[in-house]
Structure 1
């Protein structure tokens, strides 16, 4: 079953965070078990608040990715760019529909 993790965070340094994510993507290109899709949302009512939705093929893939030293290093760097604590919501993906 596909798995989605939602990470909620606040920052005033989004561009720096996006650069870290891009660099991590380049380093992990072609590696099995990493994220398959991602989406970044900005809260219209709080311009410092963002939600990142990260999709994996399975919960197990997500946990392997989470335990990867590269992921740990990136998370620490991103945390330093954030305001306050991040929250994580772990979800099983039950349905996805392409709407036109």
Structure 2
């Protein structure tokens, strides 16, 4: 079953967040279990972002979260946020390609 994790956060340091994402992509090459990632920026509140990450399963998502590289990036990201990031874990129960 496909699993989606949403990560919502507010930051005024988008350039540094982008650098962190590039660092994570480089350091987790061949290890990460995420299969697809998208980042959205709120049009009405430009400092608000939603990262949408797709995994083949909840178990694979948890394996990815437990990677030391992911832990490091998560800590760094949290330090760049205004408040704590919000994580939402979703089992995909219906999917339509439109």
TM-score (norm 1): 0.90
Q: Equivalences for 1:37-76 in 2 at 5 Å?
A: 37-76=36-75
**Aligned length in residues:** 98
The Cα shift of 1:70 comes to 1.1
In structure 1, the residue matched to 2:78 is 79
Moved over 2 A (4+): 94-99
Secondary structure at 2:93's aligned position in 1? coil
In structure 1, the residue matched to 2:8 is 8
Deviation string 1:50-79 (CA, Å, 9 cap, x unpaired) is: 000011111001111111211111100111
TM-score (norm 2): 0.92
The Cα shift of 1:97 comes to 3.5
Q: Structure 2 regions of 5+ residues with no counterpart?
A: none
**Root mean square deviation of aligned Cα:** 1.2
Secondary structure at 1:84's aligned position in 2? coil
CA distance in 2, matches of 1:63, 1:16: 25
In structure 2, the residue matched to 1:18 is 18
In structure 2, the residue matched to 1:90 is 89
- Greater per-residue strand proportion: 1
